[in-house]
A and B are shown apart, each in its own frame.
Chain A
Amino acid sequence: MPDLSTYFRTQHMPTIWCAGCGHGIVLGAVLRAIDRVGLDKDRVAIVSGIGCASRAPGYLDFNTLHTTHGRGLAFATGLKMARPDLKVIVVTGDGDLAAIGGNHLIHAARRNIDITTVCFNNEIYGMTSGQFSPMTPTTRLATTAPYGNVERNFDLCELAKAAGATFVARGAAFYARPLSNLIEQAIKHKGFSLVEAVSQCPTYYGRRNKLGAGADMLEWQRTQAVTAEKAAGMKPEELADRFVIGKFYEADAPEYVEEYDKLIQRLKGGR
Chain B
Amino acid sequence: MSAERARVRLMQGNEACVEGALVAGCRFYAGYPITPSTEIAELMSERLPRLGGKFMQMEDEIGSMAAVIGASLGGLKAMTATSGPGFSLKQENIGFAALAEVPCVVVDVQRVGPSTGQPTSPAQGDVMQARWGTHGDHPAVVLCPWSVRETFDLTLRAFNLAEALRTPVILLSDEVIAHMREKVELPDPATVKVVDRPRPVVPPSEYKPYGPAPGDEGREGYVPPMAAFGEGYRYHVTGLFHGEDGFPTGNGEKSAALLRRVNAKVDTRRSELIQVARESLDDAEIAVVAYGCSARSAVRAVREARARGIKAGLLRLVTIWPFADEAIQEAARTAKVFIVPEMNLGQVAREVERALHGAARVVPLPRVDNELFTPDEILARITEEA
Give the B-binding residues of A (Cβ under 8 A). Answer: 9, 12, 41-43, 45, 47, 57-58, 61-68, 71, 74-83, 85-86, 103-104, 106-107, 260, 263-264, 267-268
Contact = CB atoms under 8 A, between A and B. Distances in A.
A67 B64 CA distance: 14
Nearest to B56: A81
Interface in B214-257: 228-240, 247-248
B68 interface: yes
A63 B234 contact: yes
B67 A81 contact: yes
A66 B240 contact: yes
B288 interface: no
B189 interface: no
Contacts of B68: 78
Interface string B280-303: 000000000000000000000000
Given A74-B62, A78-B30, A103-B63, A263 B49 contact: yes
5 contacts: A71-B66, A74-B67, A75-B70, A78-B66, A79-B73
B345 interface: no
B60 to A, nearest CB: 6
Contact of B230 (A64, A76, A86): A86
B88 to A, nearest CB: 15
Contacts of A61: 234
Nearest to B50: A267
Interface of B: 28, 30, 49-50, 52, 54, 56, 58-60, 62-64, 66-76, 78, 92-93, 96, 228-240, 247-248
Given A58-B236, A79-B70, A71 B230 contact: no
A68 B238 CA distance: 9
A82 B28 contact: yes
B92 to A, nearest CB: 6
Contacts of A71: 62-63, 66, 93
Given A66-B238, A80-B70, 15 more contacts: A58-B238, A62-B234, A64-B236, A65-B73, A65-B238, A67-B66, A75-B66, A78-B69, A79-B74, A81-B56, A83-B75, A85-B230, A86-B230, A107-B59, A264-B49
Contacts of A41: 234
B71 A81 contact: yes
Interface of B is mostly: mixed
Nearest to B92: A68
B98 to A, nearest CB: 12
Given A260-B54, A264-B52, A75 B230 contact: no
Contacts of A107: 58-59, 63
A64 B246 CA distance: 10
Contacts of A62: 234
A81 B59 contact: no
B78 A45 contact: no
A79 B60 CA distance: 17
Nearest to A47: B70
Contact of B229 (A74, A86, A264): A86
Contacts of B235: 63-64
A43 B71 CA distance: 15
B70 A78 contact: yes
Contacts of B236: 9, 57-58, 64-66
Contact of B78 (A66, A78, A86, A268): A78
Nearest to B104: A78
B108 to A, nearest CB: 19
Contacts of B75: 82-83
B69 A83 contact: no
The 9 closest A-B pairs by CB, nearest first: A82-B74, A78-B70, A78-B67, A74-B66, A74-B63, A79-B70, A78-B71, A75-B70, A66-B238
B52 to A, nearest CB: 6
Contacts of B237: 64-66
Contact of A75 (B50, B67, B92): B67
A45 B66 contact: no
A68 B239 contact: yes
A260 B235 CA distance: 28
A66 B59 CA distance: 21
B8 to A, nearest CB: 25
A68 B229 contact: no
A41 B232 CA distance: 8
B66 A12 contact: no
A74 B49 contact: no
A151 to B, nearest CB: 23
Given A77-B63, A267-B50, A67 B239 contact: yes
B56 A82 contact: no
- Of A66, A76, A103, most buried by chain B (CB within 10 Å of CB) is A66
